């Protein structure tokens, strides 16, 4: 599937029950030529309304984290990111994604990664990490190592919504971003 076909497939998807209550699918955003690919969990209420990922408070923190490493969702190439989620539709009342929903939606993420061909993937939060790495290990055990997905290096970190609730872990998230920069071999611009 090319980009237009993939967009259309997501927009019309009825593979799981989440299609019944959604206002919009949330395909993803950013540059399709970005060399970093960010994977979040699932759209929340604002994302469902706007059809865009990470537009709420967690999104603001994500934008700040990206700015700290010289990137933004409007940047291109080495200054850009593509941002997507494991699930393209909002789970009702923001409940956790169910395994069957993740399994149905996973091929869309896989195809997005194959089309972007990023140099680095950052998986944010338990559901993104466990889905991308096919593991049940907790984030604390997986951080600090370079994993692989479709041959692309994967860095594991906390979800921005978790960091808003637990600011004491922001230092660890910064360490994860530093590992990401080291891994992608892009120097920090000061
Ligand atoms: N949390 C996510 O994981 N993704 C979004 O798009 C918004 C909030």
**CA atoms of 53 and 107, how far apart (whole Å):** 18
The strand order across the sheet containing 82-85 reads 29-30, 82-85, 36-40, 120-124, 152-157, 147-149
Structure-token match 């009342």, residue found: 93
Supply the residue whose CA is at minimum distance from atom 8 of ligand 1.
54
Q: Report the atom number in ligand 1 closest to the C-alpha of 161.
A: 1
**Residue 108 confidence (pLDDT):** 98
**Which of 19, 22, 26 shows the shortest CA–CA distance to 86?**
26
Structure-token match 């061909």, residue found: 117
Does position 187 have pLDDT exceeding 50, yes or no?
no
Name every residue whose Cβ is closer than 8 Å to that of residue 151 and which is 6 or more positions away in sequence: none
User: Strands 120-124 and 29-30: what pairing?
Assistant: unpaired
What is the arithmetic mean of pLDDT over 157-167?
98
Q: How far does residue 182's CA lie from ligand 1's centre (Å)?
A: 25
**Sequence ranges of the domains in the chain:** 3-184
Instruction: Identify whether the C-beta of residue 24 lies closer than 8 Å to the C-beta of residue 88.
Output: no
Instruction: For domain 3-184, give the fold.
Output: Uracil-DNA Glycosylase, subunit E (3.40.470)
pLDDT bin (cut points 50, 70, 90) of residue 173 is very high
Q: Quick one: 133 exposed, middle or buried, by C-beta within 10 A (0-12, 13-18, 19+)? A: middle
Beta bridge partners of 105: none
**Residue 185 confidence (pLDDT):** 78
Residues counted in the chain:
190
pLDDT bin (cut points 50, 70, 90) of residue 78 is confident
Q: How far does residue 189's CA lie from ligand 1's centre (Å)?
A: 27
- pLDDT tens string 140-150: 999 999 999 99
Counting ligand 1 atoms within 8 A of each CB, the residue from 53, 66, 81, 157 with the most, and so the one to mutate, is 53
Q: Report the atom number in ligand 1 closest to the C-alpha of 53.
A: 6
Pocket of ligand 1 (CB under 6 A): 40-44, 47, 53-54, 58, 85, 161
Q: Report the atom number in ligand 1 closest to the C-alpha of 58.
A: 8
Does position 5 have pLDDT exceeding 80, yes or no?
yes
- pLDDT tens string 29-64: 999 999 999 999 999 999 999 999 999 999 999 999
The rounded Cα 119 to chain-centroid distance in angstroms is 14
Q: How far does residue 45's CA lie from ligand 1's centre (Å)?
A: 9
> What pTM, to 2 d.p., does this model score?
0.95
Q: Report the atom number in ligand 1 closest to the C-alpha of 41.
A: 3
**CA atoms of 135 and 82, how far apart (whole Å):** 23
- pLDDT tens string 118-161: 999 999 999 999 999 999 999 999 999 999 999 999 999 999 99
Instruction: Identify whether the C-beta of residue 51 lies closer than 8 Å to the C-beta of residue 7.
Output: no
Q: How far does residue 40's CA lie from ligand 1's centre (Å)?
A: 5
């Amino acid at each position: 599937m090319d980009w237009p076909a993939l967009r259309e497939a997501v927009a019309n998807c009825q593979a799981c029950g989440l299609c019944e209550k959604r206002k919009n699918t949330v395909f993803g955003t950013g540059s399709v030529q970005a060399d970093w690919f960010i994977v979040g969990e699932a759209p929340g209420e604002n994302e469902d309304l706007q059809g865009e990922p990470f537009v709420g408070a967690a999104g603001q923190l994500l934008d700040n984290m990206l700015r700290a490493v010289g990137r933004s969702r409007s940047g291109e190439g080495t200054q850009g990111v593509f941002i997507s989620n494991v699930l393209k539709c909002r789970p009702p009342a923001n409940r956790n994604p169910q395994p069957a929903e993740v399994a149905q939606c996973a091929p869309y993420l896989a195809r997005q990664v194959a089309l972007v061909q990023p140099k680095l993937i950052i998986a944010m939060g338990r559901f993104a990490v466990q889905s991308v790495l096919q593991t049940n290990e907790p984030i604390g055990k997986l951080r600090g190592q370079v994993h692989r997905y479709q041959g692309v290096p994967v860095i594991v970190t906390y979800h921005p919504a978790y960091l808003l609730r637990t600011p004491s872990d922001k230092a660890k998230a910064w360490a994860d971003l530093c590992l990401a920069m080291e891994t992608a071999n892009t120097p920090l611009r000061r």
